[in-house]
Chains A and B, each alone.
Chain A
Amino acid sequence: MSKNLVIPIGPQHPSLKEPACFTITLEGEKVIEADIGIGYNHRGIEKSCESRNYYQALYIIERVCGICSHSHSTCYLSGVEKLAGVEIPRRAAFIRTIFGELERLHSHLLWLGVAGHEIGFDTLFMYTWRDRELVLDILAMLCGNRVNYGINTLGGVRRDLEPQHIDDIRRMCAKIEERNNYYVNLALSDATLAARLSGVGMLSKEDALKYGAVGPVLRASGVKSDTRRNDPYLIYPEIPFDVITYDSCDVFGRVVVRVLEINESIKIIRYCLDNMPDGDIIAKMPRKIPAGEVVSRYEAPRGEDVHFIKANGTDIPERVKVRAPSEANWHSMAHMLKGDYLADTPIIIAAIDPCYSCTDRAITLNNAAGSKRTDWEAIRKHGIEFYRNKGVDVSRILLPEKINY
């Protein structure tokens, strides 16, 4: 009867993009218990929105996350515009949809690269991130920045699409579609990828519904649920597109769902470009929003994003609450980690496409002028003490002698 080994993964770890502390209990190589500690990226966004007016709060909410920034901004504005009783012009709705789908494109390509990197397939990582640059160049041309687009404003959008922009977008869509055919072939016919990812991170349909999974994780377990169809917003009621599901309930299914969703996004962008009406891009909005409460939902690349806004008649919101999609997927992840091997842990954590910044939303800024410099010995001692308080003893790990720090 061997003793169970407790391993901490995090808060700083090479395979994690952002800090989180997973405490994994192992029996041999199998994970039998996983405890999630998040909250390192908490930034005080909800509190800071309560002392800023709606225009300032828009930019704060946009910066909850770098890659789902347009989702958060559009979701927030759907709520505020509904409270004010203002309907945005149709052309603005089309432009917001195009940006939302461009964001989905580059977010899924990013994820494909990260997943490839986690399993050691670095060539896929390089390819997808090279293709992603095509999308980011288009976004920089359209709105002035590669992420955090700032295209939305209260009542509509800030910049219009010129005819030469539309041609560039079409050319980019054609290129990405051709490259994506290659990824679809890779996902469906490459034996190594299938062997590595099939059966890993199983989440059955009942468990996915019970633990409240959202987004591609839910759709890879066979549940046909997409906020663009469940609770339509902008112009999605008119656009013909398919909700992609797959029945394998494992990480391989999530790869297939995301790769096929790239094709659907390209279809949606083409539909919007073909049917774009002329007209204004902004409607007049009052500075003071009438009192009320509203809940708005949006399908971000990672799943369903829910915002709650309470207004009190002044130009400062009373309460803004954001539930990002990654927050809903944490419990399913804890469940998925059990029963799999330690070596599968990075890809399972990456498979829900976690956005730690979206999950936590408050920071305490440290004044850099008051920080103190410290040396390696002190850091090592602090690290050992930190983990001892969590019940894990890492002091017996020895460091190699002659390293220049």
Chain B
Amino acid sequence: MKKKIPGAIIKTAFPTIFQKPATVGYPFEPLKIDDDYRGELTYDAEACIGCSMCMRDCPANAIEIINIGTKEDKKFKAIFHLDHCIYCGQCVDSCPKDALVMSNNIELASLDRNNLKVERE
């Protein structure tokens, strides 16, 4: 065991006075976010076949797919509940037609709860 001396941190702490701070001045500076960060979902209505696998596998009941066309001529619309969503990406994996893709947009906070229920066609 080495001899115990107090103040061993001074040698390392002192140079940090001259170093750049480790904090990022967000939101005044942009935050570096990778491309495949898990953020808001995007929906491709053309590719969707309405199988509802995403609804079945969502842990938080955050996605709804509804048919806004007729029974013969189906057209689908998605409703995302951004406040329920846990951004796990299981719906993206479950979709057999790759109609759901996760973007890297994470700046979704809002002062009004109604803004967090978005509809995508």
Contacts and interface: CB of A to CB of B under 8 A. Distances in A.
Interface stretch (A53-61, A294-302, A352-360, A375-383): A53-61
A246 B92 CA distance: 47
A60 B90 CA distance: 12
Given A124-B9, A130-B22, A185-B8, A145 B87 contact: yes
Interface residues of B, number: 29
B59 A150 contact: no
Interface string B82-98: 00001111100110000
Interface in A338-385: none
Contacts of A153: 90, 93
A127 B34 CA distance: 24
Interface residues of A, number: 32
Contacts of A185: 2, 8
A216 B68 CA distance: 57
A191 B2 CA distance: 10
Interface in A91-110: none
Contacts, number: 73
B27 interface: no
B90 A55 contact: yes
B6 A192 contact: yes
Chain A interface, DSSP helix/strand/loop, else mixed = helix
Contacts of B56: 53
A313 B10 CA distance: 62
A191 B3 CA distance: 8
A85 interface: no
Given A59-B59, A59-B90, A191 B6 contact: yes
Given A140-B37, A150-B38, A191-B4, A56 B93 contact: no
A130 B58 CA distance: 35
A191 B5 contact: yes
Interface in B74-88: 86-88
A190 B6 contact: yes
Given A53-B57, A150-B89, A123 B34 contact: no
Interface of B: 1-9, 12-13, 22, 33-34, 36-38, 56-59, 86-90, 93-94, 102
Interface of A: 52-53, 55-57, 59-60, 62-63, 123-124, 127, 130, 133, 140-141, 144-145, 148, 150, 153, 158-159, 182, 185-186, 188-192, 194
7 contacts: A55-B57, A59-B86, A145-B37, A190-B5, A190-B8, A191-B6, A192-B7
